[in-house]
Amino acid sequence: MNNKKFETMSYVPPLSQESIAKEVDYILSKGWVPCLEFDQEGAVHRTNSRIPGYYDGRYWTLWKLPMFGCTDSSQVLREIEECKNAYPNAYIKLISFDGSRQCQCMSFVIQKPPPVGNETA
């Protein structure tokens, strides 16, 4: 069953394009850098580290580079559509980074793979 939960927004219905655009506007208004990650399985892997720690191995594949210098949500939405077209059966996550605090500030899944067989989303 395709009911994996990744963060708070996993428990609400899928976000519309307008809702995603508002979230991107918020990210940009804070001066954060948007970035896309994707994963075919939507799983957390500990393949590169045996050291215990919250962030060890918790990275998906990066889509292109972080979107430094983006000033408009339409730029980010275009990248989201490109990623969706390239990976229609993947989980896609939008994340944002604060360069001054050097941390990830926001993250949510914007696409889940379609259900397979008689599974429901």
Q: What b/e string do you get for 67-97 counting C-beta neighbours within 10 Å, with b at 16 or more?
A: beebeebeebeebbeebeeebeebbbbbbbb
Task: Identify the bridge partners of residue 97 per DSSP, sorted by sequence position.
Answer: 33, 104
| Residue 52: predicted pLDDT | 59
Which secondary-structure segment (H or E) carries 107?
strand 103-111
Encode the chain (121 residues) as per-residue pLDDT tens digits.
456 666 666 677 888 999 999 999 999 999 999 999 998 877 655 555 566 555 555 678 899 999 999 999 999 999 999 999 999 999 999 999 998 998 999 988 899 887 776 555 4
* Alpha-carbon span 54 to 57, nearest angstrom: 9
| Residue 19: predicted pLDDT | 94
* Alpha-carbon span 35 to 107, nearest angstrom: 9
Cα-to-chain-centroid distance, residue 9: 11
Alpha helices (H) in 7-120, listed in sequence order:
17-29, 73-86
User: Domain 22-111 is of which CATH architecture?
Assistant: 2-Layer Sandwich (3.30)
User: Are the CB atoms for 3 and 14 separated by under 8 Å?
Assistant: no
Residue 11 is classified by DSSP as G
